[in-house]
Amino acid sequence: MSRGVFITLEGGDGSGKSTQAELLREWLALQGRSVLRTREPGGTDLGVEVREIVLHHRGDIAPRAEALLYAADRAHHIATVVRPALERGDVVIQDRYIDSSVAYQGAGRVLDPDAVRGISEWAAEGLAPDLTILLDIDADAARDRLDAARTRYDRLEAEAAAFHDRVRAAYLALADAEPHRFLVVDATRPVVDIAAEISKRVAPLL
């Protein structure tokens, strides 16, 4: 059986990744493909515990410790969930991956982006996505969406606008550096239009 397809979704909080991941899963199922939808952190039992720490821990977490927690989750998740699915020939749709660490811990926390990437790539044993979908949205628009949907923010959502501006800029720089891997989509467009653009880009990978 041929290797599956690894698709990651990236973007700031409130960009609509979960919605588009589910719509893509439904479309792929209609194409007769076996699909695994997962996320980081939280794609394993261990990941659920890590997610609780990094997003809801009371008190500060040192930026390097935060980056290492994400990398630890990634190492376990890729080894136990993602690689086995790809070896079965599944399409893996994953909410957040290495680009999130580079953007959030590298740019957002003002760590060395190359060091953050290196730790993450080591943790994942070099596994790269076939396609990364970046749902691009500015911090003010994203905050309006979060305000409408939530009464409580997690640790990263609660960061100041300057943090989220750095994250967005980092994402766009990553996409500019690897245009062959990224599909950048305006996340303020209608949901169905975004889904149609994504499925059009995914189709040749199947």
Q: Which sequence spans correspond to the domains of the chain? A: 5-205
130 pLDDT above the threshold of 80? yes
129 pLDDT above the threshold of 70? yes
Which regions of the chain does DSSP assign to beta strands (E)? Answer: 5-11, 35-39, 91-95, 131-136, 182-186
Say how far apart CA 178 and CA 39 lie, in whole Å: 22
6 three-state secondary structure: strand
151 pLDDT above the threshold of 60? no
pLDDT at 1: 43
Percent of the chain scored above 70 by pLDDT?
Answer: 95
87 pLDDT above the threshold of 80? yes
DSSP state of 7: E
Tens digit of each residue's pLDDT (9 = 90 or more) over 2-26: 689 999 999 988 899 999 999 999 9
User: Distance from CA of residue 11 to its chain's centroid?
Assistant: 7
Model pTM score: 0.92
Spelled out in words, what is the top-level CATH class assigned to the domain 5-205?
alpha beta
